[in-house]
């Protein structure tokens, strides 16, 4: 999609477009996003934080004094803007602004869903602590198909409200959204860092669902967004209780998103990032950070969510996020692989196939590839800006597959 703002900073533009897209389900308003983004200095993380925090505080204050429906709508948007405020701050995990904005984002989201029907916060037992999420109950009696939803490298379970949770609920699905290790509530509140063996995360989620009245255990699907497009298929390869899996968008090897910014052959990268000392590589990573806004943000955020001390240590950990060595081929349930034609992270190049197609080509289970295009306004990463179109096609596939 054509870059309309922040012309010299693709990462600021994508995060702005992501906020535009949440308007589809009440998570933002177009004018509020334009007005706020217009005040932000490109590449300036403090400017980004200060302006989104100002907008969030103003809207939350108004919502707190509003009648129920207006309060619901205001709290939903304030929740999105608080989450945006702390998005670029993770290079310093001790920054107190992170905790404040995250807590206010969750508080506002919960204030909003208190004014809705059949949505409740939940806690899923996990390795001596809990995973946080939400249960959306479908209307009507009888066992229902159910979709577990999780985000990716940086998105939250609250954001999934704008990426399909209520859309599934109104179509007759129970929806369970959750943050796994490394994702916002888990890293902010429980200090749980990412892990690539996602089946150990999904297992407790399915255990929880097995005790929820009205869930049909034979019709449980899993949907993962962004990096979740690798994590969800990984879980499906080892978790036989899943009836289907959706990758939005499909990822075979997540490391390609960042390796493309380093002038190093792919077969050299693993040994070099894992070496005890490699000053030349450290210099190349520093140069890539300085030259590319995505690399700068990804390394800062990645150190935080992977528990890494250095950018190179983060990149070494990130190499484990793949479906190689026959993992993709182990999946037996039906798989929907979504693809964005101009994905800023995972689109193909002249020498490398797009990640969704790399995944799709290796699947031996029943499979479908769903490509979203520029003509549809849906070619950006995870179809930001075309959420209703994407959600409709995904749930139409689920209707045919598990309902």
Q: pLDDT for 122-161, tens place per residue?
A: 999 999 999 999 999 999 887 999 999 999 999 999 999 9
Q: What is the pLDDT of residue 267?
A: 85
Percent of the chain at pLDDT > 90 equals 93
Does residue 2 fall inside a structural domain?
Answer: no
- The answer to whether residues 242 and 342 belong to one domain is yes
Q: Give the closest residue to 240 by CA, choosing from 222, 254, 228, 226.
A: 222
Does residue 4 fall inside a structural domain?
Answer: no
- The answer to whether residues 100 and 192 belong to one domain is no
- The answer to whether residues 213 and 326 belong to one domain is yes
**C-alpha span between 101 and 387 (Å, rounded):** 25
Res. 47: pLDDT tops 90: yes
The pLDDT mean for the chain works out to: 96
- The answer to whether residues 100 and 155 belong to one domain is no
CATH of the domain at 154: 3.40.50.1820
Of 66, 86, 110, which residue is a domain's last?
110
- The answer to whether residues 83 and 157 belong to one domain is no
- Residue 155 sits in which domain range? 119-254+321-401
Of 318, 336, 357, which residue is a domain's last?
318
Q: pLDDT for 243-262, tens place per residue?
A: 999 999 999 999 999 998 99
Q: What is the pLDDT of residue 379?
A: 92
Q: What is the pLDDT of residue 228?
A: 98
Does residue 353 fall inside a structural domain?
Answer: yes
Q: pLDDT for 63-76, tens place per residue?
A: 999 999 999 999 99
- Reported as a pLDDT band with limits 50, 70 and 90, residue 349 is confident
- The answer to whether residues 249 and 342 belong to one domain is yes
Q: What is the pLDDT of residue 362?
A: 98
Total domains, the chain = 3
Res. 83: pLDDT tops 90: yes
- The answer to whether residues 295 and 162 belong to one domain is no
- Reported as a pLDDT band with limits 50, 70 and 90, residue 403 is confident
Res. 330: pLDDT tops 90: yes
Sign of CA dihedral 371, 373, 376, 381: positive
Determine if the pTM surpasses 0.75: yes
- The answer to whether residues 153 and 229 belong to one domain is yes
CATH of the domain at 34: 1.20.1440
Mean pLDDT for the stretch of residues 93-117: 97
- The answer to whether residues 71 and 147 belong to one domain is no
**C-alpha span between 116 and 130 (Å, rounded):** 24
Q: What is the pLDDT of residue 106?
A: 98
Does residue 59 fall inside a structural domain?
Answer: yes
Res. 1: pLDDT tops 80: no
Q: Which ranges of 10-127 would DSSP assign to H, the alpha helix?
A: 10-21, 30-37, 45-64, 68-85, 96-113
Q: pLDDT for 268-322, tens place per residue?
A: 999 999 998 899 999 999 999 999 999 999 999 999 999 999 999 999 999 999 9
Q: What is the pLDDT of residue 55?
A: 98
- Reported as a pLDDT band with limits 50, 70 and 90, residue 4 is confident
Residues designated catalytic? 226
Does residue 146 fall inside a structural domain?
Answer: yes
- The answer to whether residues 56 and 149 belong to one domain is no
End-to-end CA distance of the chain: 34
Choice among 137-141, 216-220, 244-248, 323-327 with the minimum mean pLDDT: 137-141
- Reported as a pLDDT band with limits 50, 70 and 90, residue 352 is confident
- The answer to whether residues 341 and 297 belong to one domain is no
Q: Give the closest residue to 225 by CA, choosing from 316, 288, 150.
A: 150
Does residue 3 fall inside a structural domain?
Answer: no
Of 53, 81, 110, which residue is a domain's last?
110
Does residue 383 fall inside a structural domain?
Answer: yes
Does residue 1 fall inside a structural domain?
Answer: no
Q: What is the pLDDT of residue 20?
A: 96
Q: What is the pLDDT of residue 98?
A: 98
- The answer to whether residues 230 and 330 belong to one domain is yes
3-state DSSP of the chain: CCCCCCCCCHHHHHHHHHHHHHHHHCCCCHHHHHHHHCCCCCCCHHHHHHHHHHHHHHHHHHHHCCCHHHHHHHHHHHHHHHHHHCCCCCCCCCCHHHHHHHHHHHHHHHHHHCCCCCEEEEEEEECCEEEEEEEECCCCCCCEEEEEEECCCCCCCCHHHHCCHHHHHHCCCEEEEECCCCCHHHHHHCCCCCCCCCHHHHHHHHHHHCCCCCEEEEEEEEEEECCHHHHHHHHHHHCCCCCEEEEECCCCECCHHHHCCCCCCCCCHHHHHHCCCCHHHHHHHHHHHHHCHHHHHHHHHHHHHHCCCCHHHHHHHHCCCECCCCCHHHCCCCEEEEEECCCCCCCCCCCCCCHHHHHHHHCCCCEEEEEECCCCCCCCHHHCCCHHHHHHHHHHHHHHHCC
């Amino acid at each position: 999609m054509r870059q309309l703002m922040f012309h010299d900073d693709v990462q600021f533009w994508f995060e702005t477009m992501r906020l535009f897209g949440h308007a589809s389900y009440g998570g933002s308003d177009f004018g509020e996003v334009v007005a706020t983004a217009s005040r932000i200095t490109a590449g300036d993380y403090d400017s980004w934080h200060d302006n989104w925090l100002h907008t969030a505080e103003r809207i939350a204050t108004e919502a707190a004094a509003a009648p129920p429906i207006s309060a619901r709508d205001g709290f939903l948007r304030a929740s999105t803007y608080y989450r945006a405020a702390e998005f670029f701050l993770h290079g310093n995990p001790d920054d107190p602004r992170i905790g404040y904005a995250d807590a206010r984002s969750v508080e506002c989201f919960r204030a909003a869903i208190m004014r809705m029907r059949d949505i409740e916060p939940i806690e899923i037992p996990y390795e001596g602590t809990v995973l946080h999420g939400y249960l959306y109950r479908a209307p009507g009696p009888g066992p229902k198909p159910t979709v577990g939803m999780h985000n990716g490298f940086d998105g939250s379970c609250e954001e999934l409200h704008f990426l399909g949770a209520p859309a599934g609920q109104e179509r007759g699905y129970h929806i369970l959204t959750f943050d796994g290790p490394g994702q916002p509530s888990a890293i902010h509140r429980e200090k749980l860092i990412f892990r690539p063996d996602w089946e150990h995360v999904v297992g407790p989620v399915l255990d929880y669902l097995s005790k929820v009245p009205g869930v049909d255990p034979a019709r449980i699907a899993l949907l993962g967004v962004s990096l979740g497009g690798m994590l969800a298929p990984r879980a499906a390869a080892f978790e036989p209780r899943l009836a289907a899996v959706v990758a939005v968008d499909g990822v075979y090897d997540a490391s390609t998103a960042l390796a493309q910014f380093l002038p190093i052959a792919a077969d050299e990268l693993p040994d070099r990032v894992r070496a005890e000392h490699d000053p030349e590589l450290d210099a190349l990573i520093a140069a890539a950070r300085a030259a590319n806004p995505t690399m700068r943000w990804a390394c800062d955020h990645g150190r935080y969510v992977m528990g890494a001390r250095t950018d190179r240590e983060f990149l070494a950990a990130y190499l484990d996020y793949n479906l190689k060595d026959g993992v993709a081929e182990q999946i037996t349930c039906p798989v929907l692989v979504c693809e964005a034609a101009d994905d800023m992270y995972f689109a193909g190049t002249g020498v490398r196939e797009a990640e969704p197609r790399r995944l799709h080509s290796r699947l031996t289970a029943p499979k479908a590839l769903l490509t979203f295009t520029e003509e549809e306004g849906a070619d950006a990463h995870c179809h930001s800006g075309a959420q209703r179109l994407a959600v409709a096609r995904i749930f139409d596939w689920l209707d045919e597959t598990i309902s």
